[in-house]
Amino acid sequence: MRIAIVASTVPAAQQAAGKLNARYGSVATEEADVVVALGGDGFMLRTLHTCLELQRPFYGMKLGRIGFLMNQYRDDDLLERIGRAHPATLHPLEMRVTSTDGEEAVELAFNEVSLLRQSNQAAHLRITLNGEPKIEELVCDGILVSTPAGSTAYNLSAHGPILPLDANVLAMTPISPFRPRRWRGAILPHATRVGLVCLDPGKRPVSATADYHEVRDVLSVEVRQSRQHAVTLLFDPEHNLEQRILDEQFQF
């Protein structure tokens, strides 16, 4: 098995990469059977974006602050652990943004797409689903559309639901909603096309972010699941992603 070892810039990850490279060797990501990522969830997300087109499985080991998408770090039996690992297939969200200057951008998100106010003024947003109006004016600090894998991250912090990995749904969660006061979000079929329009972009500017790709001063955003893109994450059998998502619902 040919592995490509990639590591974040933190010293612990760099030291571990040196040990693993000396023990197992490492090839370029383009030549690898598996990409081994060392770091935290943020580094794993960047690795998924960077290596998406290679269509290789990814095996992460935690050497950062947060490691929900990672396995525990050990430098022994790495190839055997990869061979026993359980795969989890993730489809990202596709974010299409039109900014106030007419520029357009397309980005992918494995965790979530978020819209956030840029100033001290609350955002005023219109929400449509598959072209059909659902909320004419949402007054809030922002809103998230999350994948199941990302539902335990920012979405959970915003009091959104945790989604089972195989549920084929997305979470839409408002951030500090003011009007409608009682609306706490929705669970959407994965094929839903979500439309978000900034109603007062001059006075109430809004930014849109797909994972770590940010676009400022947005006018409108469309979010949908991208079925033509997919990545495979590998997890140790005792800590597979489905079980982690289930267990997360019982953390206090």
Residues designated catalytic: 41
What is the DSSP track for 142-199?
A: EEEEE-TGGGGTHHHHTTPPP--TTS-EEEEEEES--BSTT---EEEETT--EEEEES
Please name each of the domains of the chain with its CATH number. Answer: 3-90+230-248 (3.40.50.10330), 93-225 (2.60.200.30)
Please tell me the predicted confidence (pLDDT) of residue 166.
85
Please give the Cα distance from 70 to 15 (Å, whole number): 17
∠ CA 155-158-163, rounded to 5°: 35
Give the pTM.
Answer: 0.90
SS3 57: coil
* Extended beta strands in the chain, E state: 3-7, 34-39, 58-62, 86-90, 93-99, 104-109, 112-117, 123-129, 132-140, 142-146, 169-175, 186-189, 194-198, 206-210, 213-215, 218-225, 231-235
For 26, the token pair is 């490492």
Q: Is 109 left (phi over 0), alpha (psi -120 to 50) or beta?
A: beta
* C-alpha closest to that of 229 among 206, 211, 248: 211
Return the pLDDT at 68: 86
Q: Please tell me the predicted confidence (pLDDT) of residue 245.
A: 84
For the chain, which ranges sit under pLDDT 70? none
Q: What pLDDT shows up at residue 249? A: 79
